[in-house]
Amino acid sequence: MIMVVLILAGTGRAIVSKESQLQTERGRVVEGFQLAARLEEQEVHAGEPIHLIVSLMNTTKSNLYFADAGYEKDFTIDVESNSGQPVELTEYGRRLVKNRGTSFGRVGVRIRPGEALQYDLLLNKIYVIPSPGVYTVTVSRDVPKRNGKGLARVTSNKVTVVVTQ
């Protein structure tokens, strides 16, 4: 059984969820970690909040550890328009990218076997998504290699959001 800890955007509260609440589409397993992305709503009106729910799962039979500087800093979110063009970052998003890698504090995090941490990222806080269209989103982050030598990149499945008038 997979247990999920949900980190609510801006609240820092953790909630344990059951396996049945996890989405089934996921990215490839890398060093025992697996990322899954889903949208709270797959179709939204222009200007409405777009909640991207990201789960970081431990697929192994042992504890996995990683350093966390804050989920918005640790995740890389790629958003493309339906024409394949990258979407512009907001001012907040540009500051995140500029400061990525600079850390004022990291916290050690443990994920037990079969557990997942779940994050609620507000997509249009980071990206300018002003006009109707179809956008594809993937999420990635660095995780430690199990041999302790360096980092590997784990990437989620691709999700699509439709923005309407």
Where do the domains of the chain lie? 3-164
> What is the CB neighbour count within 10 angstroms for residue 46?
13
Mean pLDDT of 119-142: 93
Query: Considering the entire predicted model, what is its pTM?
Result: 0.82
What's the mean pLDDT in 21-35? 85
Rounded to 10 degrees, what is the CA torsion of 29, 150, 8, 104?
A: -170
3-state secondary structure of 69: coil
pLDDT in tens, 51-80: 999 999 999 999 999 988 877 888 999 999
CATH dotted code for 3-164: 2.60.40.2360
pLDDT of 147 higher than 60 = yes
How far is the C-alpha of 153 from the C-alpha of 30, rounded, in Å?
7
Residue 35 has pLDDT above 90, yes or no: yes
* Distance separating alpha carbons of residues 86 and 79, to the nearest angstrom: 6
Give me the pLDDT at residue 52, please: 96
Model confidence at 145: pLDDT above 50: yes
